[in-house]
Amino acid sequence: EAGVTQFPSHSVIEKGQTVTLRCDPISGHDNLYWYRRVMGKEIKFLLHFVKESKQDESGMPNNRFLAERTGGTYSTLKVQPAELEDSGVYFCASSPFSGTGLYEQYFGPGTRLTVT
Amino acid sequence: DAKTTQPNSMESNEEEPVHLPCNHSTISGTDYIHWYRQLPSQGPEYVIHGLTSNVNNRMASLAIAEDRKSSTLILHRATLRDAAVYYCILRGEYGNKLVFGAGTILRVKS
């Protein structure tokens, strides 16, 4: 069974440009999460999808970030326009169930975003 | 989400057991104790979780104090591949997001 995949693995863009990160969850997992770690900080939650619906987007830093999950399969996270402080590693995770603290989340390898 | 406290770093010798402590004095009755780890250049990886009783799986054991205010992740025989940051996380009964702290950096010496 394929794990969570993320693309690209690394992206370098200039300040003001747009970048789109993609996450493919494990097949059949309705729950998809985005997290990020910016330089020197802890991993922080961004948002949670259940199928195509945003269940919790309390961690999204500002309106320059837009997450979508059309059709309830893969998800994209767009940053527009990118700022220097957006540099970091963006992780995606998926899980088969929500609404319970019982189940683990499966993480992808992350996308390293560098804004210059 | 309730907060956890872990040592910043620990060191172990290869092939020896490792006990990673976690304090969670404000844990509620329905909080599950989860452990994840992050190996270098990888995403976090689930290790184990428990509620009240001690738990064992192929990766590790989780020992939970009787009052649930602390727990210990036990790696029975540390290998070089176990060198990682270990996170102790509390998840509510209906919790979804993971709240990561700084974790414990485990170094394993050969």
Q: Tens digits of per-residue pLDDT, A37-67?
A: 998 899 999 999 999 999 999 999 999 999 9
pLDDT band at B2 (very low <50, low <70, confident <90, very high): low
Tell me what the pLDDT averaged over chain A comes to. 94
Q: Is B96 on the interface with A (CB under 8 A)?
A: yes
Given this model, what pLDDT does residue A57 score?
94
Given this model, what pLDDT does residue A84 score?
97
Given this model, what pLDDT does residue B22 score?
98
The string of pLDDT tens digits covering residues A2-51 is 899 999 999 999 999 999 999 999 999 999 999 999 988 999 999 999 99
Query: Which of A103, A105, A106 is best to mutate for the B interface (most B CBs within 10 A)?
Result: A105
| Cα dihedral sign, B94-B100-B103-B108 | positive
**CB < 8 Å from B in window 32-61 of A:** 33, 35, 42-45, 48, 55-56, 59
pLDDT band at B92 (very low <50, low <70, confident <90, very high): confident
Do residue A109 and residue B43 have CB atoms under 8 angstroms apart?
Answer: yes
Given this model, what pLDDT does residue A1 score?
67
The 3 state secondary structure assigned to chain A is CCCCEEECCEEEECCCCCEEEEEECCCCCCEEEEEEEECCCCCEEEEEEECCEEEECCCCCCCCEEEECHHHCCEEEEECCCCHHHCEEEEEEEECCCCCCCCCCEECCCEEEEEC
The string of pLDDT tens digits covering residues B20-57 is 999 999 998 889 999 999 999 999 999 999 999 999 99
Q: Which residue in A45, A91, A101 is closest to B92 by CB distance?
A: A101
- DSSP classification of residue B5: B
Q: Which residue in A31, A59, A91 is closest to B43 by CB distance?
A: A91
pLDDT band at B86 (very low <50, low <70, confident <90, very high): very high
Distance to chain B for A87, nearest Cα, Å? 16
Quickly count: other Cβ atoms within 10 Å of residue A35's Cβ: 25
Give the percent of chain B with pLDDT over 90: 87
